[in-house]
Amino acid sequence: MANAFLSFFLLIFSSNIIFENIHACNQRERSSLLFLALTLSSPQLNWTSADCCNWEGITCNQGGWITHLQLPSKGLKLKEGIFPSSSHGNLTHLTHLNLSHNSLYGSLDQTELFLSLNDLEILDLSYNLLFGVLPSSLPSSHIRMVDLSSNRLHGVVPSFFFQQALNLTSFNVSNNTFSGPFPSSICHPSSSSLRHLDFSFNNFTGSISSGLGKCSKLQIFRAGYNYLLGSLPEDMFNSTTLEEISLPLNSLYGAVSDRISNLTNLTTLDLSYNQLSGVLPVHLGKLSKLKHILLDFNYLEGSFPLSLMNCTNLVELRLGSNNLEGNISVLNFSRLGQLGKLDMQKNNFSGILPISLYSCKFLKAIRLSYNNLEVQIHPKILSLEYLSFLSLGWNKGLTNLTGVLKMLMGCKSLVVLSLASSFLGEEMPNGVEVADFNGFQNLRILDLSSCNLNGVIPSWLSKLKKLQVLVLNHNRITGSIPSWLGTFPRLQILMMHFNQLSGEFPKDLCTLPMLVSGETVAQVSRIYPELPIYYNPSADALPLQYNYVFYTRFIYASHNCLSGKIPIEIGQLQLLNQLDLSANNFSSNIPDQMSNLKYMEVLDVSMNHLSGKIPASFTGLNFLSSLNVSYNNLGGPIPSSTQLQSFNASAFEGNLKLCGAPLPNKCQTTEGADAPDMSTQDADTKEHQIPFMFLLHLGSLQDFGESVVPWCL
């Protein structure tokens, strides 16, 4: 009886203890949290009940101390734009702080939040709007993981932090604007536990002299998209635990050391967009775990390391835009059963495509354009059921467009097909031989440019309803622009410059849904080609890389024999960004409606027979960055706006009756009124002048025309 009573008493007593230990939060910490909540403008946290250990995002330990403060993706905003800067925020037992994916806009410079967080092990403030420099109070003694990525932090990343953070396993500051030299001694000689290091997407400069070789556990090293210089750090090859090296888009030079073949666990090697030279390590293929090799856009030379044909795990091999050479017909791809992407564009490879390539049944993308290959397309290509990107142009030997198209139509997954500069001088198939064309139903980009093809724009194209980009420039295509082109539901880029097209600019082309309606644009999904597409805005700039097909909308029809009026319906193409109708025979006025093209960036109607005035409404084309109306019969004053006057005089020259800035000739006060009359009177003289000027300029424009093969497929 007494025992039972005692038990009962004990039970009450101990449950009381449990209540105190587990449920009651430390009052001082409670007020710290409330202070923290006060610095937030939204949302209202439901932090009201007495026991703060039950609050959302809070975890306490047995002693009632707060150990976890985790409020990721809660839409948190700071009131003052300052990260909590008072020392009220004492949470001395906190081990986990995760406020990632919020909208915390504030400076880390002055914060004292970290001062008391001596026990902190996990710090995740990624995906916020934090700025300022890293505070020297960044907790280091117990820290294991730091993720400050995707903010706007700047300044240097101090080396001393790494010297103190002995238990650091992961450090991610990617996607900020950190600058200055790369931290010099990241790893401890003996005890480094660092596994993941991510410095990518910042402004780091100088060379990578980091003592990485001492990181005896390092698995991931990323520092791409910076301004790093110098050679690959030699001691990196001592970190045999490395699984990923990603240093793309820097200015690293020198050769890739043979010692790389010591890194037997390497799965990803991304050194693309650097200035690396020399030959590729012969034994690269000893790294049997390699899945991703990205070495494109360097100055690598010599031959393809045959050992790579032993990398049975290879998924992606990109060696494009280098100076590699050799006969690829000796390559045996049959062991690369996982290969999904092969990109060797812009090298000096020769020989014929080995048939063994078609045994890589998961291939999704093949780009071998701009080499010296003898291209033949073998029927076995039909066994590549996932093939969605095929680019073989700018090589030799590819003939029989009809046969090739008939065959490739069996590749049901094709999204991108580029066969530019092939089939030289053949006829564009359009007759009975293609009457039964069906296929290409997923094709979104078709490039048959620079093939010198004869014939007309073929009607079978009209069946390719998903086409978004049609590239037919630099052929000898005759006939008129078919009106059904205007019915393509998704067409946004149409390149047909440098052909022999005649007739009028069809009104129906002015109804292209993607150029007319923002709603259509919103509905059409972006193309994410299996390989990036490179766009060269100018000949000497580094090509821009696009992982999806740009929003840009072009019609290029220059250097044809188009005539008649520019239809007033052109004003419907409101979403068009670039329109080039230059070097045709268009006559009559520039329609006033052209000024409806509010998003127009580049407009070229030069070298036609356009007369009348430049519409006054042109002053409303706010996005216009390039205008060319030169070598027409235009007259009257150039409408005044800061925009039009900012262009070079050459944009207007060759129009004898045109006057006013930026042209040197001033307008006579009466000239505006009777300009149309004068143009008819002077028609004769102008007929003689135009061809002369036309010739004068053809040379330079032709250069322009050639470099306007604006992207690499």
Ligand X SMILES: *[C@@H]1O[C@H](CO)[C@@H](O)[C@H](O)[C@H]1NC(C)=O
- At its nearest, how many Å lie between ligand X and the CB of residue 516? 31
Residues 92 and 63 sit within 8 Å (Cβ to Cβ)? no
Residues 466 and 484 sit within 8 Å (Cβ to Cβ)? no
Q: What is the C-alpha to C-alpha distance for residues 381 and 559, in angstroms, rounded to an integer? A: 37
- At its nearest, how many Å lie between ligand X and the CB of residue 98? 4
Place of tokens 């290959």: 373
C-alpha torsion 582→585→587→593, nearest 10: -40
Round the CA-based radius of gyration of the chain to a whole number and report it.
Answer: 33
Question: Which of 126, 345 has the CB closer to ligand X?
Answer: 126
Structure tokens at 142: 């117990």
Residues that bind ligand X (CB under 6 A): 28, 46, 49, 54, 72, 87-88, 90, 98, 100, 115-116, 122, 124, 126-127, 141-142, 145, 147, 149-150, 154, 167, 172, 174-175, 177, 179, 196, 198, 201, 203, 213, 220, 222, 234-235, 238, 240-241, 258-259, 261-262, 265, 285, 306-307, 310, 400, 402-403, 406
Map residue 173 onto helix, strand or coil.
coil
- At its nearest, how many Å lie between ligand X and the CB of residue 92? 8
Residues 206 and 181 sit within 8 Å (Cβ to Cβ)? yes
Q: What is the C-alpha to C-alpha distance for residues 581 and 585, in angstroms, rounded to an integer? A: 9
- At its nearest, how many Å lie between ligand X and the CB of residue 521? 22
Question: Which of 249, 481 has the CB closer to ligand X?
Answer: 249
Map residue 384 onto helix, strand or coil.
coil
- At its nearest, how many Å lie between ligand X and the CB of residue 246? 9
* Minimal CB distance residue for ligand X: 403
- At its nearest, how many Å lie between ligand X and the CB of residue 406? 6
Q: Which helix (H) or strand (E) holds 10?
A: helix 2-18
Question: Which of 170, 619 has the CB closer to ligand X?
Answer: 170
Question: Which of 28, 598 has the CB closer to ligand X?
Answer: 28
Map residue 154 onto helix, strand or coil.
strand
- At its nearest, how many Å lie between ligand X and the CB of residue 78? 15
Question: Which of 403, 518 has the CB closer to ligand X?
Answer: 403
- At its nearest, how many Å lie between ligand X and the CB of residue 624? 25
- Please work out, in degrees rounded to the nearest 5, the angle formed at the alpha carbon of residue 290 by the alpha carbons of 284 and 292: 105
Question: Which of 200, 679 has the CB closer to ligand X?
Answer: 200
Question: Which of 310, 422 has the CB closer to ligand X?
Answer: 310
- At its nearest, how many Å lie between ligand X and the CB of residue 492? 24
Residues 93 and 61 sit within 8 Å (Cβ to Cβ)? yes
Structure tokens at 544: 């821009």
- At its nearest, how many Å lie between ligand X and the CB of residue 522? 20
Q: Which 8-state DSSP code applies to residue 39? A: T
- At its nearest, how many Å lie between ligand X and the CB of residue 198? 4
- Please work out, in degrees rounded to the nearest 5, the angle formed at the alpha carbon of residue 253 by the alpha carbons of 249 and 256: 100
- At its nearest, how many Å lie between ligand X and the CB of residue 52? 10
- At its nearest, how many Å lie between ligand X and the CB of residue 287? 11
- At its nearest, how many Å lie between ligand X and the CB of residue 384? 18
Q: What is the C-alpha to C-alpha distance for residues 156 and 583, in angstroms, rounded to an integer? A: 54
Question: Which of 127, 488 has the CB closer to ligand X?
Answer: 127
Question: Which of 126, 468 has the CB closer to ligand X?
Answer: 126
Residues 306 and 281 sit within 8 Å (Cβ to Cβ)? no
Structure tokens at 698: 């053809």
Q: What is the C-alpha to C-alpha distance for residues 556 and 603, in angstroms, rounded to an integer? A: 10
Question: Which of 97, 477 has the CB closer to ligand X?
Answer: 97
Q: Which residues of 39-61 are buried (b: 16+ CB within 10 A; e: fewer)?
A: bbeeeebebeeeebbebebbebe
Instruction: List the one residue out of 303, 208, 221 whose CA is nearest residue 254.
Output: 208
- At its nearest, how many Å lie between ligand X and the CB of residue 234? 6
Q: What is the C-alpha to C-alpha distance for residues 472 and 452, in angstroms, rounded to an integer? A: 10
Place of tokens 């520092």: 223
Q: What is the C-alpha to C-alpha distance for residues 131 and 179, in angstroms, rounded to an integer? A: 13
HEC-encoded secondary structure of 608-658: CEEEECCCHHHHHCCCCCEEECCCCEEEEECCCCHHHHCCCHHHCCCCCEE
**AA letter at 431:** G
Other C-beta atoms within 10 Å of 200: how many? 23
Q: Which 8-state DSSP code applies to residue 576? A: -
- Dihedral sign for Cα 73, 75, 76, 78, please: positive
Question: Which of 286, 613 has the CB closer to ligand X?
Answer: 286
Question: Which of 402, 587 has the CB closer to ligand X?
Answer: 402
Question: Which of 174, 449 has the CB closer to ligand X?
Answer: 174
Examine residue 43 and say whether the peptide bond preceding it is cis (omega within 30 degrees of 0). yes
Largest CA distance in the chain: 129
Question: Which of 220, 515 has the CB closer to ligand X?
Answer: 220
Q: What is the C-alpha to C-alpha distance for residues 441 and 463, in angstroms, rounded to an integer? A: 8
Question: Which of 89, 639 has the CB closer to ligand X?
Answer: 89
